[in-house]
A = this chain, B = another copy of it.
Amino acid sequence: MLSGPSGVGKNTVLNQVLRQIPGLSYSISATTRKPRPGEVDGVHYFFCDQEHFADLIKQGRLLEWAEFCGNKYGTPRDFVEEKLSSGNDVILDVDIQGAAQIAKSMPQAVKIFLLPPSLEALRERIIARGAETEQEIERRLCAARQEIQRIVDYDYVVCNDNVDEAVRQIAAIITAEKSRVFRWLSSNDPANFFEGSEG
């Protein structure tokens, strides 16, 4: 799970991570928001109406969901679980509340927080993304400040000072996490480690 404040450059980093790591899948969100020009159903989002989204919630088919500006966004459970059960990794772009919700049902999930190098850098990126009013910029900076308080809930913090370096760190985290002892123990028994190769 990758979280980070608006403007930190999460999409750029995510896209490069997905390009560099074979077998890593991006979890596409479901949303009731209308597609913007250029957005493709099943690529950028799974677009669905309010009724269908309500069904997904009712049937427990979302790992997490939330509402922003009147639109609902959620993480479809089936896609994530199918990928994981076939031995693939999935990367999720989730906000702090979403990450906390998912961590409850999937404690083995890894939480990475993408950090801006500085307040100025974040402000510039928010302006570059087209936040028009000074008020809107300040609102996002304020939200970033609050999000950074929750870094304690994360496993890793990666500073997006340089995209290549951030991508390199995230790729290393994904590789390293596969070697964690608690994951090895979930499918190996140290007491019988040599059994498979004996006799």
A residues in contact (CB < 8 Å) with B: 112-113, 115, 118-121, 145, 148-152, 154-158, 168-169, 171-173, 175-181, 184-185, 190-191, 193-194, 196-198
Contacts and interface: CB of A to CB of B under 8 A. Distances in A.
Contact of A176 (B113, B115, B176, B197): B176
B151 A185 contact: yes
Q: Which of A155, A176, A191 has the most CB of B within 10 A?
A: A176
A149 B194 CA distance: 11
B120 A181 contact: no
- Chain A interface mostly: helix
B172 A158 contact: no
A118 B194 contact: yes
Contacts of A155: 180-181
Nearest to A115: B193
B118 A148 contact: no
B118 A190 contact: no
A90 to B, nearest CB: 18
Contact of A151 (B154, B184, B197): B184
A195 to B, nearest CB: 9
Contacts of A175: 168-169, 172-173, 176
Q: Which of A112, A178, A194 has the most CB of B within 10 A?
A: A194
Contacts of A184: 151, 157
B149 A191 contact: yes
Q: Which of A154, A155, A190, A196 has the most CB of B within 10 A?
A: A190
